[in-house]
Structure 1
Amino acid sequence: MIMRPGQQLLLPANPLFIWSSLLVAMVVSMLPLGRTPWMPDLLALVLVFWGVHQPLRVGIGAAFAFGIAMDVHQAALLGQHALAYTALTYLAITIHRRLLWFTVPSQAVQVLPLFVAAHAIELAIRMMAGGVFPGASILLAPVIESLLWPVVSVILLAPQRRAPDPDENRPL
């Protein structure tokens, strides 16, 4: 793949780090902090990140499994998070090649519609099942998730940015 000028060459992502970051995001999302409509979905954010950066390792099946786990944990309508995470990961994998050409702040703007779509899917399923509308504060969650995109990018790409041991045969 042709890289942008000045873009750093990254080391391969460790599969153990990918899956442990997803598990940590799921555990943080399961913390009993009280579910408010504006609270960002950290698991969705990490799923999109790895769907963009490692689409062959984290796919739609993983998103479905994590969604079912979140549905069971939150006692939500079974399949609500699973459908939202699956659609979110599909859209992330669809745009991953184009998205990686942009800077991280530009990426944050471009993933905002994905997060809006995921929250709209969850809200539509909840409303069809007879739930109540949580209010206009639900519009803050996708915006906060989009604002967290640069932070998550720095944190999750940090292990790949470490310098390999250079020698005369490997100057990079």
Structure 2
Amino acid sequence: MIMPRGQQQLLMPASPLFIWGSLVLAMSLNMLINMGWVGRAVWVPDILALVLVFWVIHQPLRIGVGVAFVLGLAMDVHQSSLLGQHALAYTTLSFLAIGIHRRLLWFSVPSQAAQVLPFFFAAHVLSLVVRLMTGGDFPGWWMVLAPLLEALLWPVVSVLLLMPQRRAPNPDANRPL
């Protein structure tokens, strides 16, 4: 049976193991990107922030501000940046995402990307302000590309992370929903 237009597909509950596995994979990918592939380029999107915002929006009771703080501290330690710089950015990002998570899920995925774009900008600006207040150098205007790339990656991350939750649209005796 084809789903009627305007109705969303029913999703299975997200597995906690899958949620945590995707966060660990995103953090590992962030670390790999920062260590070897492009170095510490400021235009590179923050994959961990992207996956974290996704799970905060889709599973706010499981992933929240506390998880964002711990992951931010881990990224601070890895990048040997000011302790709390990423933690502050990630917790702010999570707080903003929790504030709109109910409303955001009513929109299409491209519209969601447009709505989380200002949050990514705010997180990068907050991180930049903390960096500049502690005597760091301005990294350059290329850093504007990072939130744009994160918003462009939002549909890809949404499709990939919602894949295991999709139910079959054809009900039968073995799948009644």
Q: TM-score, normalised by structure 2?
A: 0.91
- Aligned twin of 2:20: 19
Match of 1:44 in 2: 49
From the superposition, tell whether residues 109 and 164 of structure 1 become closer, same or farther in structure 2 (CA, over 3 Å): closer
The answer (yes or no) to whether the contact 2:14–2:165 under 8 Å persists in 1 is yes
- What percent identity do the matched residue pairs reach? 69
Residue 8 of structure 1 corresponds to 9
Which of 82, 86, 93 lines up with 2:91 in the alignment? 86
1:60 to 44, 62, 65: 65
Distance in 2 between residues matched to 1:132 and 1:138, nearest whole Å: 13
CA distance in 1, matches of 2:116, 2:169: 31
* Structure 1: tracts of 5 or more residues without a match: none
Shift of 1:169: 7.7
Q: Given the alignment of the two structures, is residue 97 of structure 1 paired with residue 102 of structure 2, yes or no? A: yes
Aligned partner of residue 30 in structure 1, secondary structure: helix
> For residues 7 and 165 of structure 1, what CA distance do their matches in structure 2 show?
14
- Match of 1:136? 141
In the alignment, structure 2 segments of 5+ residues that lack a partner are: none
Conservation of the 8 A alpha-carbon contact between 2:45 and 2:150: yes
Deviations 1:47-76 (A, max 9, x none): 000000000000000000000000000000
The answer to whether the Cα contact below 8 Å between 2:9 and 2:169 also exists between their aligned partners in 1 is no
Letter of the 1:145 counterpart: E
Match 1:123 to one of 97, 122, 128: 128
- SS of equivalent to 1:78: coil
**Code of the aligned partner of 2:61:** L
TM-score by length of 1: 0.94
Using the TM superposition, name which of 162-171 and 106-115 deviates more.
Answer: 162-171
Cα RMSD for the two superposed structures: 1.6
